[in-house]
């Protein structure tokens, strides 16, 4: 009796361990996506808006240095365009991708 129970527990443990990587590949359930959307709306978007404002100010301050060096486009991309895309152009709830 005990050997059958041990064998059953061993099979269950092995199948659980081998199934874990497969479970990790499944898409997130709808409940988590709603939580991601709430997190994005309450925290990530306001921080993105602040980064747009701060990046714009830094870009204007950096213009006397970036225009002569020819790196104005790179500065505009990093300081202004990327924060705008993060804040306004990506789908709601898509924070870490």
Residue 97 pLDDT > 50: yes
Asked if 56 and 94 count as a contact pair (C-beta separation under 8 A), the reply is no
Q: Which of 42, 53, 37 is nearest to 91 (CA)?
A: 37
For residue 82, the model assigns a pLDDT of 96
pLDDT band of residue 36 (cuts 50, 70, 90) is: confident
Structure-block tokens of residue 79: 């300081």
- Average pLDDT score, the chain: 81
Least confident of 22-26, 60-64, 66-70: 22-26
Mean pLDDT of 62-90: 96
Residue 23 pLDDT > 50: no
Mean pLDDT of 29-48: 83
pTM of the model: 0.62
pLDDT band of residue 33 (cuts 50, 70, 90) is: confident
Place of tokens 């092995």: 14
Contacts of 77 (CB under 8 A, 6+ apart): none
């Amino acid at each position: 009796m005990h050997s059958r129970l041990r064998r059953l527990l061993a099979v269950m443990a092995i199948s659980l361990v081998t199934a874990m990587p497969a479970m990790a590949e499944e898409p997130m359930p709808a409940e988590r996506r709603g939580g991601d959307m709430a997190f994005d709306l309450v925290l990530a978007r306001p921080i993105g808006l602040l980064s747009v404002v701060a990046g714009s100010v830094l870009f204007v301050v950096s213009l006397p240095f970036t225009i002569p060096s020819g790196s104005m486009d790179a500065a505009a991309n990093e300081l202004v365009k990327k924060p705008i895309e993060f804040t306004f152009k990506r789908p709601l709830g898509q924070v870490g991708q």
